[in-house]
A and B are shown apart, each in its own frame.
Chain A
Amino acid sequence: MNKHIGRRDLLRAGGWGLAAATAGSLFGACGAGGRPGGSSEVGITGNTVKIGAHFPLTGVAAPGYSDIPTGTKAYFDYVNAHGGVNGRKIEYIFRDDAYNPSNTSQVVNELVLQDQVFAIVGGLGTAPHSAVLDFLNSEGVPDLFVSSGSLLWDQPKKNPYTFGWQPDYEVEGKIIGRYVHRNMPNARVGLFLQDDDFGDDGEKGARAYLGDQVVAAQRYVSGNTDVAPQIAALQAAGADLVLGFNVPSYTALSQLASLKLNYRPQWFYSNVGSDPALVGSLLSRFSKGEVSGASMLDGVITTEYLAGVEEADDPWVELWQQVWDAHGGEGELTNFRLYGMAEAYTFVQTLQAAGPDPTRDGLVAALEKVGAELQGPGLAPFRYSGDSHAGMAGVKVSRLAGNSTEKLSPVFVTDNGKAEITEYTGRNPGPPPNGIPSVEPVG
């Protein structure tokens, strides 16, 4: 910075001619003193921390996803009601991008430049968030816990301020692949994939273990609602287990298509596409009421990395329910709200780790240092370190049964690429009694 000032001062002193100099002094008066010193950290005052996020609150992606920030906000309100973090209340601003990257770029500009947030927490969507990755990292804004399982968030060299949160799709695919290979060695596996990095990463992970068990792989393009050809092709290939890396609306569409074709394989949906409540409501909407609710998903296998609302006696879910009852707005506690609360919990931990006077760089450094040891609602630990900004390391496999889930496997953890899959032996101690973490500041 100092180098630039010197050069500009020289330029200014030298002058480029009368007209320019006049203009310079005229307009200079407007902008003089416009170089703020970096005395205090952006977004932090003595008693507040301001953070922001972008979510689709309107448009096609809004159902379900627009619940997430309401959960996050409820948990922050809960923390604020208990005195905040180091005496600071968390101000949480979330803005609508309608899942459109051009809008994301606008609202994140607004959050960073206008609202002057300290950090972005939980911004949702692979394509929308890609649009602001470069901006946030060049501005040095911590970009924590992107709500997407893409591998893009784990590039600490290129994007030092960006961190993933949920297990990425490749890790999930690997664990699913090995589970199927070990427990259903005779299954003829068909893959039903979204035609983007979500499907690609998942397929890569699954194929690493399934090898020649895969008899067909069919892709659908998001936006094309006719998936009958893909389902028919899986049926024709004789697949008796269909593994879906797809979003919730395509879980509903694939179920309806297979119903029409009288095709009844064992279904195995990855975590993203398996929320029973949302899929159930989509099913009855798409079929105009002919198929009712979540009952169709009975027996479907899926994966989990957080306890869901149906596990009402899980201590974490009890905490979330308590938070939602006290600080939530309208509506029920859903898995999406729970996801938002869990992200908020991890942020509170990170802020505590950054100490009493957090800075943007300090926040990132603290997360790299203690991130892998954080105990929270996640079933598997995070992989954060100086060399990795990847989120949770694993998932467990479970089966949907009525309004609950049945555990099929312990939590497995692994890493990207050739890393082995191991059983996670750590025990989740449950939430602290007051529901607020207490992480020691890093030295």
Chain B
Amino acid sequence: MVSLVAGVRRRLPASTLGRNLLLVLAALVVVVLLLELTDPFRNSQLATMSYYAIAAAGLTVLTGLNGQISLGHGALMAVGAYAMGLLLNTGVVPFPLAMLAAAAVTAVVGVVVGAAAARLHGPYLAGATLALAIGVPGLAIHFDGVFGGEQGLQISSPRPPDWFADVIYFLFANEAGSAKYFAYIGWLTLLAVLLLLSNLVASRYGRVWRAIRDDEVAAELAGVPLGRLRVLAFVVSAACAGLAGAVLGIVVRLAAPSGFTIVLSLSLLTAVVVGGLGSLGGALLGSALLVFLPPAVTGLGMQAGLTGVQAAQLAPLAYGVVLVTVMLLAPGGAMGIARALWHARPRRRFAQQPANTHRMDEEPSTTDATEPGGRT
């Protein structure tokens, strides 16, 4: 097993971009197979997972790599979803353009919030972003003429075009309903985001972000403009959240304040922590847990003879238990365990490099990650 892992590692391309491209292409094949081999309901679950994962990937870069905590990513998703809704409902903006615009709008909000956040640390930063999570849904209620108030803004999601149904039927002899179409939109977006983020993380910016996270004073002495780079991290993360909100808007077909409560922000944070702080793969795993765990637990509860209400109440409990267990037994999250396996053998090819660059990945800073608690 270990020698196999080492063998695979030796054959990967040397350049980061090449390696990431290869990974994303492989992932694309897996995703297509997954979507075509599963039923429409699993497709719809995977669509849901894709928007959680996009947001979680952005958050893990911010919190895991740059050390800034955000309890406001749910609100940033709301910005993206509402922007998406308003653009799509005009009926003239094609949805890919609307998605980019939603990400851009959220990035602008990210500049403002990030500028404030860059001056704050620890609990103060958590508090400020928490205010965002509470405040933004309130705005949607206050300006109900534009945003539809409490009952929300209905979004006219794109219908699967004929060519899409034709291609799917031609290739796989499968029907292509809207659940599948949304899942493809979500996962293609997710893979693009993962490709961009993984390159960014491996680039100069990623290194500088980690440097700031690990020691601000040292980073500043080395000539790193702290403020600007922290804002940049926030903006990148916000753009991801906006894109996630846009996908959510398409999948849910509604943007309503009750969809973007503090629970959403906390769920994202728990996904990131359970998956492994600072790791994109971990964000993916954590989001899968968010989507697949509650129905699985509810199903088990029903089989065990609980009433429907009791079984439903079991899900948040199980979620909390998983979180506590991971924190106690594997603080590095699921990816921490995977990485321990990956690096189990002494390395030959990388022996010349200073071990530090890898060690940083392995030990994400958990100092800023206050326990977010279970889903309330």
Stretch at the interface among A22-30, A261-269, A281-289: A22-30
Given the complex, which residues of B lie within 8 Å of A11, measured CB to CB? Answer: 166, 169-170
User: A249 within 8 Å of B by Cβ?
Assistant: no
Given the complex, which residues of B lie within 8 Å of A133, measured CB to CB? Answer: 154
Q: Name the residue on B nearest A195 (C-beta).
A: B141
Instruction: Render A16-52 as a binary contact track against B, CB cut-off 8 A, 1 for contact.
Output: 1000100110011011101100000000000000000
Using a Cβ cutoff of 8 Å, how many contacts connect chains A and B? 157
Q: Out of A16, A31, A127, which one reaches B151, CB within 8 Å?
A: A127
Are the C-beta atoms of B175 and A35 separated by less than 8 Å? yes
Given the complex, which residues of B lie within 8 Å of A109, measured CB to CB? Answer: 40-41, 44-45, 179
Are the C-beta atoms of B44 and A66 separated by less than 8 Å? no
Are the C-beta atoms of A70 and B258 separated by less than 8 Å? no
User: A399 within 8 Å of B by Cβ?
Assistant: no
Instruction: Render B262-295 as a binary contact track against A, CB cut-off 8 A, 1 for contact.
Output: 0110000000000000000000000000010001
Are the C-beta atoms of A127 and B254 separated by less than 8 Å? yes
Are the C-beta atoms of A196 and B141 separated by less than 8 Å? yes
Q: Out of A4, A12, A27, A69, which one reaches B36, CB within 8 Å?
A: A27
- Say yes or no: A96-B298 contact (C-beta < 8 A), given A12-B170, A28-B173, A134-B253: yes
Chain B residues 268 to 326 lying within 8 A of chain A, measured CB to CB, are 291, 295, 298, 307-309, 312-313, 315-316
User: B251 within 8 Å of A by Cβ?
Assistant: yes
Are the C-beta atoms of A58 and B315 separated by less than 8 Å? yes
Given the complex, which residues of A lie within 8 Å of B295, measured CB to CB? Answer: 110
Q: Out of A23, A32, A221, which one reaches B141, CB within 8 Å?
A: A221
CA distance A114 to B39 in the complex (A): 8
Chain A residues 66 to 106 lying within 8 A of chain B, measured CB to CB, are 66, 69-70, 73, 93-96, 98-102, 105-106
Are the C-beta atoms of B179 and A223 separated by less than 8 Å? no
Given the complex, which residues of A lie within 8 Å of B309, measured CB to CB? Answer: 57, 66, 69-70
Are the C-beta atoms of A222 and B150 separated by less than 8 Å? yes
Given the complex, which residues of A lie within 8 Å of B258, measured CB to CB? Answer: 99-101, 127-128
User: A130 within 8 Å of B by Cβ?
Assistant: yes
CA distance A329 to B313 in the complex (A): 16
User: A295 within 8 Å of B by Cβ?
Assistant: no
User: B174 within 8 Å of A by Cβ?
Assistant: yes
B6 to chain A, nearest CB (A): 32
User: A194 within 8 Å of B by Cβ?
Assistant: yes
Chain B residues 205 to 225 lying within 8 A of chain A, measured CB to CB, are none
Query: Mostly helix, strand, loop or mixed at chain A's interface?
Result: helix
Are the C-beta atoms of B261 and A100 separated by less than 8 Å? yes
CA distance A150 to B251 in the complex (A): 23
User: A126 within 8 Å of B by Cβ?
Assistant: yes
User: B172 within 8 Å of A by Cβ?
Assistant: yes
User: B235 within 8 Å of A by Cβ?
Assistant: no
CA distance A101 to B81 in the complex (A): 13
Instruction: Render B153-182 as a binary contact track against A, CB cut-off 8 A, 1 for contact.
Output: 010010000000110011111110011000
Are the C-beta atoms of B169 and A221 separated by less than 8 Å? no
Are the C-beta atoms of B154 and A195 separated by less than 8 Å? no
Are the C-beta atoms of A96 and B315 separated by less than 8 Å? yes
Given the complex, which residues of A lie within 8 Å of B175, measured CB to CB? Answer: 34-35
Are the C-beta atoms of B252 and A150 separated by less than 8 Å? no
- Say yes or no: A31-B174 contact (C-beta < 8 A), given A102-B252, A197-B149: yes
Given the complex, which residues of A lie within 8 Å of B169, measured CB to CB? Answer: 8, 11-12
CA distance A69 to B251 in the complex (A): 27
Q: Name the residue on A nearest B308 (C-beta).
A: A94
CA distance A196 to B144 in the complex (A): 8
CA distance A94 to B44 in the complex (A): 19
User: B138 within 8 Å of A by Cβ?
Assistant: yes
Q: Which of A28, A73, A109 has the most CB of B within 10 A?
A: A109
CA distance A100 to B376 in the complex (A): 13
CA distance A4 to B162 in the complex (A): 9
- Say yes or no: A8-B166 contact (C-beta < 8 A), given A101-B259, A223-B138: yes
Chain A residues 179 to 237 lying within 8 A of chain B, measured CB to CB, are 194-198, 221-224
Are the C-beta atoms of A101 and B252 separated by less than 8 Å? yes
Q: Name the residue on A nearest B81 (C-beta).
A: A102
Q: Out of A28, A59, A96, A195, which one reaches B144, CB within 8 Å?
A: A195
Instruction: Render B225-257 as a binary contact track against A, CB cut-off 8 A, 1 for contact.
Output: 000000000000000000000001001111011
CA distance A35 to B176 in the complex (A): 11
Chain B residues 125 to 167 lying within 8 A of chain A, measured CB to CB, are 137-138, 141-142, 144, 149-152, 154, 157, 165-166
CA distance A7 to B151 in the complex (A): 41
CA distance A24 to B169 in the complex (A): 9
User: B330 within 8 Å of A by Cβ?
Assistant: no
Given the complex, which residues of B lie within 8 Å of A30, measured CB to CB? Answer: 36-37, 172-173
- Say yes or no: A105-B298 contact (C-beta < 8 A), given A194-B150, A196-B150: no
Given the complex, which residues of A lie within 8 Å of B45, measured CB to CB? Answer: 106, 109
B347 to chain A, nearest CB (A): 38
Given the complex, which residues of A lie within 8 Å of B151, measured CB to CB? Answer: 126-127, 130, 150, 152, 196-197
Q: Which residues does B use to contact A, with CB under 8 Å?
A: 36-37, 39-41, 44-45, 48, 137-138, 141-142, 144, 149-152, 154, 157, 165-166, 169-175, 178-179, 248, 251-254, 256-259, 261, 263-264, 291, 295, 298, 307-309, 312-313, 315-316, 376
A-B contact pairs, 20 of them (CB 8 A): A8-B166, A24-B172, A27-B36, A28-B173, A30-B36, A30-B172, A31-B172, A31-B173, A58-B313, A59-B263, A69-B309, A96-B312, A102-B264, A109-B40, A113-B41, A114-B41, A134-B157, A138-B178, A194-B150, A221-B141
Q: Please name 14 further chain A to chain B contacts, defined as beta carbons within 8 Å, in addition to the given A57-B312, A113-B41, A114-B39, sorted by A numbering.
A: A16-B170, A30-B37, A30-B173, A34-B173, A57-B309, A57-B313, A100-B263, A101-B254, A102-B259, A105-B48, A106-B45, A127-B151, A130-B151, A138-B178
Question: 9 tightest CB-CB pairs across the interface, nearest first?
Answer: A196-B150, A96-B312, A113-B41, A57-B312, A114-B41, A131-B254, A31-B173, A109-B44, A127-B256
